[in-house]
Structure 1
Amino acid sequence: MRRTALFLPVLSAALVALTPAPAQAPRRPLAAAVGSPLRSPANVARDRYRHPVETLTFFGVKPTDTVVEIWPGNGWYSEILAPMLREKGRYVAAGPLPRTSDMLTKLQARDATAFGKAQAVAFPAEAGQAGVPDGVADKVLTFRNVHNWRFGGADRAQAAFDAMFRMLKPGGVLGVVEHRLPEARDAAAEEKSGYMKESSVIAFATKAGFKLAARSNVNANPKDTADWPQGVWTLPPTYRLKDVDRAKYAAIGESDRMTLRFLKPK
């Protein structure tokens, strides 16, 4: 949950399906990746808030997919996706360089077999940098990043969605998880709180050419009222207020999150 501006150069939970759901991803390889001892204990401790098996199943991720993760940060999902896709698929981490490549290098140093085939590219790609070619991805996933792009302005957020649309194959899936701002709130809060309205995210995706396929409440948290003194960073794991009311925020847990699946039309 980084407050970073984007500079672009150029199912145990209730499910509301808008179109028929895709064939479910095989749970065995995914469950094995989530349960792998290669994952850091600190990341595993957050599974109860991030629900990786349910979330990736909802997005339809399969071991044979080419998956691009946009702005993977410190590699929380990289630890799961790269080993799962190693044999039959492909994992690409797309984000600011050198941070993204450094993250993958650390994982590869931990286990070259599990992470060795993963690739890091730039997003956005500047002159001379390798990016994601158009039409190569089966799935494009991004977790809690739309607010970062929105900090750079609506046009820059839109450019990110336009770029994700281009990198997907026709029929490909965009999966988005984002901190959720209640629809009744002033949209100006999106520029500083770390929360986004679901309608705003859907609008960016729709303008890029995506069709909303389904929503899931798998990452919902009704305890989160999204009106904290330091925005979403008031809550765990950041605890921006440090020890002030820490027990209160720990009891709330991590943020309420939308989980949206979009399709690129064939």
Structure 2
Amino acid sequence: MLHESKEVFVSWVNEIRFAGMASNKRKGLACAVLTLIATLALSSEASAAELPSAAIAAAVVDSSRPATDTVRDTNRKPADTLAFAGIKPGDKIADYAAGAGYFTRLFAAVAGAKGHVYASVPSSLFQYPNIVKGIAEVQTWAVTHPNVSVTFASALEAAKYPEKLDVFWISQNYHDLHDSFMGPVDMAAFNRTVYAALKPGGTYVVLDHVAAKGSPADVTDTLHRIEPSTVRREVEAAGFTFEGESAVLANPADPHTAGVFDPSIQGRTDQFILKFKRPR
């Protein structure tokens, strides 16, 4: 609406300025109103896109991050992603299905000594050697980082923690809870467990690969994608309120017809980030 108002006043000011049919007083008023609207529009746009905090910026440029992590930054845009999630010092964070710990390490750096990160590993993943290797790397790293705990349990138990959380994070794995890779899991029960794990006002963030609208249910297994609308429906059914969506990882050029590991699109998939809140 601000954008539309701005266009109207631009037209009005131009007519006044060039038609020579208005007094200087009216010209001044028109210009002042236009300036105000432009300022409000810019303010609205700035507030819609969260800016990375100093703690997030420092975590991303930390020289101790392994090259296997930093090489992925171009595609994962960690500063913008963590800023949208609202990660901050002192947070208690769950990194669900943490993999090799890419986000675990970033979260730990931002959360600091007063925060804590739980790198949660569903026990169903132990059958995959590459995942076991990544888990071992996270465990080794956590030994020297006391604000990190690596936990193992079944899919639903892995979403339970010894303290209430500020943030529950799941990246590129929500769809796997629907398929044979990590499930199928009772998603209503899973999201209720996440709800219970969070503090009132806590944040639930789901990052995943976009599936085409109207995709069949098995798209989670065949292409490893999921429709954002499916996630919203399931998460909101558990009592969460929708806070917003980030397009920072969007790729309009993705045809959504190839699996996420297909060389034609791997690392460049169209991805969504949805943010939900547990009501206070």
Once residues 137 and 94 of structure 2 are traced to their aligned partners in structure 1, the CA distance between those partners, rounded to angstroms, is 15
Structure 2 CA distance for aligned equivalents of residues 211 and 42 of structure 1: 35
User: Does residue 146 in structure 1 map to residue 177 in structure 2?
Assistant: no
**1:25 CA drift (Å):** 7.4
CA distance in 1, matches of 2:164, 2:217: 34
Q: Is the 8 A contact 2:160 2:193 kept in 1?
A: no
Residues 152-210 of structure 1: CA distance to partner in whole angstroms, max 9, x if unpaired? Answer: 46652333222211100111100110000121433432332100001111111011111
Q: Which residue of 2 aligns with 1:6?
A: none
Change (3 A) 1:108 1:172: closer
Match of 1:161 in 2: 191
Query: How far apart are the structure 1 equivalents of 2:209 and 2:159?
Result: 30
Q: CA deviation at 1:126?
A: 8.2
Q: Which structure has the bigger radius of gyration?
A: 2
Structure-2-length-normalised TM-score: 0.71
* Cross-structure match for 1:84: 110
Q: How far is 1:130 from its partner?
A: 10
Structure 2 unmatched runs, 5+? 1-43, 127-131
Instruction: Label 1:262 to 1:186 Cα distance change in 2 as closer, same or farther (>3 A).
Output: same
Does the 8 Å contact 1:104/1:118 carry over to 2? no
SS where residue 95 of structure 2 aligns?
A: strand
8 Å contact 1:125–1:131 — kept in the other structure? no
Partner of 2:70: 44
Distance 2:48 2:91 in 1: 17
1:63 to 65, 89, 109: 89
Q: What's the CA shift for 1:120?
A: 1.6
Contact 1:94/1:131, CA 8 A, preserved across alignment: no
Residues 9-56 of structure 1: per-residue CA shift (max 9 Å, x gap): xxxxxxxx9xx979x576111111111112111221211111111111
In the alignment, is residue 211 of structure 1 matched against residue 241 of structure 2?
Answer: yes
Decide whether the 8 Å contact of 2:170 with 2:205 is kept in 1. yes
Go from structure 1 to structure 2 and tell me whether the alpha carbon gap of 1:226 and 1:26 turns closer, same or farther (over 3 Å shift): closer
- Structure 1 position 132 matched with structure 2 position 158: no
Distance 1:154 1:124 in 2: 12
The C-alpha deviation readout for 1:78-120, integer Å capped at 9, x for no partner, is 12111222322111111225758634322136xx2xx232112
Partner of 2:15: none
2:142 is the counterpart of 1:108: yes
Say which structure, 1 or 2, has more relative contact order (CA 8 Å, 6+ apart): 1
| Structure whose residues are more often helix by fraction | 2
Whole-Å separation in 1 of the counterparts to 2:274 and 2:102: 19
- Match of 1:77, SS? helix
Aligned to 2:253: 223
Q: Given the alignment of the two structures, is residue 176 of structure 1 paired with residue 206 of structure 2, yes or no?
A: yes
For the 8 Å contact 2:121–2:152, the answer to whether it is kept is yes
Contact kept in structure 2, 1:215 and 1:258, CA below 8 Å: yes
Segment of structure 1 superposing worse, 60-69 or 148-157: 148-157
Give me the identity figure in percent. Answer: 26
Instruction: Pick closer, same or farther for the CA change 1:169–1:151 going to 2, 3 Å.
Output: same
Runs of 4+ residues deviating >6 angstroms:
none
Task: Kindly report the root-mean-square deviation, in angstroms, between the aligned alpha carbons of the 2 structures.
Answer: 2.8
Q: 1:125 to 1:215 in 2, by over 3 A?
A: closer
Aligned length: 225
TM-score (norm 1): 0.75
In 2, Cα distance between the equivalents of 1:126 and 1:157?
A: 9
Q: Measured at CA, do residues 108 and 93 of structure 1 come closer, stay the same or move farther in structure 2, by a change above 3 Å?
A: closer
Structure 1 residue 62: Cα displacement: 0.6
